[in-house]
A and B are shown apart, each in its own frame.
Chain A
Amino acid sequence: GENVEQHPSTLSVQEGDSAVIKCTYSDSASNYFPWYKQELGKGPQLIIDIRSNVGEKKDQRIAVTLNKTAKHFSLHITETQPEDSAVYFCAAQTAGNKLTFGGGTRVLVKP
């Protein structure tokens, strides 16, 4: 089955700096790659997603890039703010509609 590796597991950045989280997947048939943000005490919430026919997608301060050949995708957060502090999960969905999540990255934005 699909295996998703996510790095780093923790990330501390200064407010205003950029943060980058990287994920790799194993199943070349995976075709949908969402990113979820989980704040303390809450369930994960979708922040951005990308499909396999697109290389990059941007939404204000967040962007996701996908390299299908290398089977990796990344989340980029620019101009980080304290409210960006949370746990971020990448995920990959195979043709069987199963969504496999990475292990998560705890991001701390220091003011």
Chain B
Amino acid sequence: KAGVTQTPRYLIKTRGQQVTLSCSPISGHRSVSWYQQTPGQGLQFLFEYFSETQRNKGNFPGRFSGRQFSNSRSEMNVSTLELGDSALYLCASSWRGDANTGELFFGEGSRLTVL
């Protein structure tokens, strides 16, 4: 069974640019969550999508947005990049439907460097 796939794995952007990251969840998983990982802040929750609807949202500015497609694939977008956006962006999928809890399966992440 294929795991969670994130693309691209590495990318470099300059301040002011925008970036789009992609995540393909495990087949059959309908929930996709995004996290930002930085050395100082640990894992910060960005948002969660379930069946193409944003179900939860973290405390990030509006520059961070996402969406989910009918095949459960998800994208996140960061506009007007700032130096502080440099981080590892992790995507996680789960089967979570109506249940409150479920194991998250993480991808290997997309490492974004903003110069």
Contact = CB atoms under 8 A, between A and B. Distances in A.
Contacts of A42: 108
Contact of B100 (A45, A95, A101): A95
Nearest to A101: B43
Contacts of B101: 31-32, 34, 49, 51, 93
A100 B42 CA distance: 10
Contacts of B33: 99
Interface in B1-36: 4, 33, 35
Interface residues of A, number: 25
B106 interface: yes
Contact of B107 (A1, A43, A96, A104): A43
A5 B35 CA distance: 18
Interface in A20-65: 31-32, 34, 36, 41-46, 49, 51
Given A93-B100, A102-B42, 17 more contacts: A32-B100, A36-B104, A36-B106, A43-B92, A43-B106, A43-B109, A97-B48, A97-B100, A98-B45, A98-B56, A98-B58, A99-B104, A101-B43, A101-B44, A101-B45, A103-B42, A104-B42
Interface of B: 4, 33, 35, 41-45, 48, 55-56, 58-59, 90, 92, 96, 100-101, 103-104, 106-109
